[in-house]
Amino acid sequence: MSQRRTMVQARSKMTRERVLEAATQLVLERGHEALAMKDLVELSGVSNGSIFHHFGSRDGVLEEIFKRERRAYLAYVSQCTLEHQGDPCEALGEGARGALMFQARDPQRYYRLNAQFSNSEWLREKQKMWNDLAADIERPVIEWGMPHFAAKRLPLLAPALIQSLLLGPPELVCNQWRAGRIGGELADHADTVAAYVTAGMRHLRDMGNGAG
């Protein structure tokens, strides 16, 4: 690869990062629906034409932000799940703990860059993109779970349902904490969330195995 081509690629990467950093700041301040190209051009210092060259549209910028933030979140949850040794139901509980702790790092960032996207018309219109991204991120956990499903150490439920049962409690706790209805620090409730998800998964597993 020539030195000139390397320099061009480096500048291109820097330009993209400037746009994404500025767009992330604007979304944090106002929400993704309020992102305006005029503001993005002004804050990033990148021309309207250059932004369209790199991202195609305002929508393309939002898509990159969404992918980056959602990948960071779910990859951390997956890591917490996969690192646990022992009962796989406990491992899912540790994934739920990880989800809450991720949100506790910066609740406002999570709210703007994850939660608000989740409940948006924008994401409903991007369903294929989200399905493809989720499948890619979740693949290691699904592969980890296959022998546990076969041995009936996990409840035989669709992966998307298990993910919903894992991520739902920490997200609801975070929402109620942000609303001021739950006291203390958000991270204080990690043990409760982990125990709740672990117990629920064990109960569903035992139901499927004919116990209880």
Q: What is the CATH number of the domain that holds 3?
A: 1.10.10
Among residues 147, 166, 29, the alpha carbon closest in space to that of 21 is found at 29
Domain stop point among 10, 32, 56:
56
Are 25 and 105 part of one and the same domain? no
Are 107 and 3 part of one and the same domain? no
Question: Count of domains in the chain?
Answer: 2
- CATH number of 104's domain: 1.10.357.10
- CB atoms near residue 114 (< 10 Å): 19
Are 81 and 180 part of one and the same domain? yes
Q: Write down the pLDDT at residue 210.
A: 62
pLDDT tens, position by position, 90-143: 999 999 999 999 999 999 999 999 999 998 999 999 999 999 999 999 999 999
Structure tokens at 116: 């608000």
Are 102 and 195 part of one and the same domain? yes
Query: CA-to-CA distance for 52 and 46, rounded, in angstroms?
Result: 10
Are 172 and 190 part of one and the same domain? yes
Q: Is the pLDDT of residue 212 over 60?
A: no
| 87, 153 contact by CB (below 8 A) | yes
| 64, 126 contact by CB (below 8 A) | no
Are 10 and 96 part of one and the same domain? no
| 84, 94 contact by CB (below 8 A) | yes
Are 35 and 115 part of one and the same domain? no
Among residues 159, 157, 169, the alpha carbon closest in space to that of 199 is found at 169
Are 182 and 199 part of one and the same domain? yes
Are 146 and 46 part of one and the same domain? no
Are 30 and 74 part of one and the same domain? no
pLDDT tens, position by position, 34-88: 999 999 999 999 999 999 999 999 999 999 999 999 999 999 999 999 999 999 9
Are 88 and 132 part of one and the same domain? yes
| 64, 129 contact by CB (below 8 A) | no
Q: Write down the pLDDT at residue 208.
A: 81
Q: Write down the pLDDT at residue 209.
A: 73
Kindly tell me the number of DSSP H helices and DSSP E strands found in the chain.
11, 0
Range of the domain at 177: 62-208
Among residues 89, 112, 136, the alpha carbon closest in space to that of 28 is found at 112
Confidence label for 13 from pLDDT (cuts 50, 70 and 90): confident
Domain stop point among 35, 56, 77:
56
Are 91 and 178 part of one and the same domain? yes
Domain stop point among 18, 37, 56:
56
